Amino acid sequence: MATEATMLERCGSKCELCGAETELSPFVVAPHTQVTVDHAAMLCDTCKSQIEDPETMDANHWRCLNDSMWSQVPPVQVLAWRQLKRLSEKEGWAMDLLDMMYLEEDVANWAAIGMDDDEEKPRDVNGVELKKGDDVTIIKDLPIKGSSQVIKQGTVVRGISLADDPKLVSGKANGQSMYIIAEYTRKK
């Protein structure tokens, strides 16, 4: 509880991104996994839910980043940068703020690493990330769309390629090129 108390003191019992005085909780900034003063920020439920589910993002709520982006607290800087980066694709004001923002090199690296983690990547049945050139084994019999053929369980697909859709990989099985749902494979 000492960590949370220190964080509440640091933020003056206000959300470190939007300044809301509602109930706050620590939010660990990826790729870190432990709540520490150096790797977490105190956030309100609104900020937390919109960060965790970007589909629910309300761009106007994030105008608060105009102030919080100047925080001296690295996890707050990282969260502000990431939100501005996401918003800058559709919002001109976010791009302007992002252009003004300055981060120390280690904080900038932390922010960029976390953005890469946000991207969907093809993963096998065990959650292992699949990369171009990997060999995979089919884990269950898969019918081939538009055909009466089936790719049998245990079939090895060598040197896969990645598709535009992160749920799919492509490769040759039984002499035919095809797309395969990544979660039906196991990396060799």
Query: Can you give the residue ranges of every domain in the chain?
Result: 2-112, 136-187
Q: Where are the beta strands (DSSP E) in the chain?
A: 24-28, 40-44, 136-138, 142-143, 150-151, 156-157, 161-162, 168-173, 176-181, 185-187
Its pTM stands at 0.62
- Cα–Cα distance, 165 to 148 (Å, whole number): 25
CATH of domain 136-187: 2.30.30.40
CB count within 10 Å of CB 45 equals: 13
CA distances from 183 to 66, 85, 119 (A): 41, 30, 17
The overall average pLDDT reported for the chain is: 89
Interval 35-54 mean pLDDT: 92
Q: What digits encode the pLDDT tens for the residues 53-107?
A: 888 889 999 999 999 999 999 999 999 999 999 998 889 999 999 999 999 999 9
pLDDT category of residue 147 using cuts at 50, 70 and 90: confident
| CA nearest to 130, candidates 138, 142, 122 | 122
pLDDT category of residue 119 using cuts at 50, 70 and 90: low
Question: What share of the chain in percent tops pLDDT 70?
Answer: 96
pLDDT value at residue 30: 86
